């Protein structure tokens, strides 16, 4: 397995590998060997991982992980960066909390953020997978449907440039953009068999939900948001 340094995009050092188990797993084990921030792009993963130990399978998709040595508001920056770039191409996408990017009710992109601590933060790894081909793909959607054939690395470059811009924004500015792009905030959701209004996202990335009396901060995304209710119920 050869990891090649490609070039820098502003302060980001870009690396490329044809095949790897998982860009996140690799950076978790080798973060000390890379300058920060770095981006590791792969053509293929043999053991791509999703949240909750799920498998991430991607045919010819965009696969990359960004390595930082600080914590940023990555939970919201990452999906904003992806969505903003796609919107430039007139793709009508939105963010499903916490950080999935959806098009027409289908998941296009997933993000796996892993922070490594010893007695201090060692590394923060933001793994991004974006589907390209909709064939052999359980999610049933791919960017090819919208952009035709395109160069993966060029699109990743655009996302990194946007990411860089967003890193300088404060939380309130990011939150305002996130809310605009969200397909959950401002909508009704179902959590533990009760209906709430999802009103915001807090600085930890928790979803803020309200039932008219109380307000709760939900950290797990294993809440049952009923797609049929999202969008169907007015605020
Ligand atoms: C999810 O939706 O559950 C998150 C999926 C994250 C997939 C990306 S692909 C690049 C990076 N390497 C991995 O093994 N996973 C992330």
Model pLDDT, residue 84: 98
Sign of CA dihedral 176, 97, 44, 132: negative
Q: How confident is the model at residue 60 (pLDDT cuts 50, 70, 90)?
A: confident
Q: 194 alpha carbon to ligand 1 midpoint, in Å?
A: 30
Rounded Cα distance between 186 and 79, Å, is: 18
Q: 129 alpha carbon to ligand 1 midpoint, in Å?
A: 5
pLDDT digits 0-9 by tens, 207-223: 999 999 999 999 876 55
pLDDT surpassing 50 at residue 54: yes
- Find which of 25-29, 201-205, 218-222 is predicted with most confidence, using mean pLDDT: 25-29
How many beta carbons lie within 10 A of that of residue 58, not counting itself?
A: 21
Mean pLDDT of the chain: 90
> In the structure, which protein residues have their CB atom closer than 6 angstroms to any atom of ligand 1?
22-24, 45, 48-51, 54, 56, 63, 65, 100, 110-112, 127-129
The CATH H-level (homologous superfamily) assignment of domain 4-181 is: Bira Bifunctional Protein; Domain 2 (3.30.930.10)
pLDDT surpassing 90 at residue 191: no
pLDDT digits 0-9 by tens, 80-96: 999 999 999 999 999 99
Per domain, the residue ranges of the chain are 4-181, 188-230
Model pLDDT, residue 223: 58
């Amino acid at each position: 397995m050869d990891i090649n340094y490609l070039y820098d995009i502003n302060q980001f050092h870009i690396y490329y590998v044809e095949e790897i188990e998982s860009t996140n797993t690799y950076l978790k084990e080798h973060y000390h060997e890379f300058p920060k921030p770095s981006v590791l792009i792969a053509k293929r993963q043999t053991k791509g991982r999703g949240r909750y130990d799920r498998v991430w399978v991607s045919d010819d998709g965009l696969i990359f992980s960004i390595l930082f040595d600080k914590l940023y508001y990555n939970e919201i920056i990452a999906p904003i960066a992806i969505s903003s770039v796609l919107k430039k191409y007139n793709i009508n996408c939105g963010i499903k909390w916490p950080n999935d990017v959806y098009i027409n009710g289908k998941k296009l992109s997933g993000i796996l953020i892993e922070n490594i601590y010893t007695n201090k933060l060692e590394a923060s790894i933001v793994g991004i997978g974006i589907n390209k081909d909709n064939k052999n793909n359980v999610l049933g959607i791919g960017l090819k449907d919208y952009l035709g054939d395109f160069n993966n690395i060029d699109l990743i470059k655009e996302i990194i440039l946007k990411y860089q811009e967003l890193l300088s924004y404060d939380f309130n500015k990011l939150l305002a953009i996130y809310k605009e792009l969200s397909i959950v905030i401002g909508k009704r959701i179902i959590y533990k068999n009760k209906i709430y209004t999802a009103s915001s996202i807090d600085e930890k990335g928790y979803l803020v939900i309200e039932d008219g009396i109380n307000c709760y901060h939900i950290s797990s995304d294993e809440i049952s948001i009923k797609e049929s209710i999202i969008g169907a119920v007015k605020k």
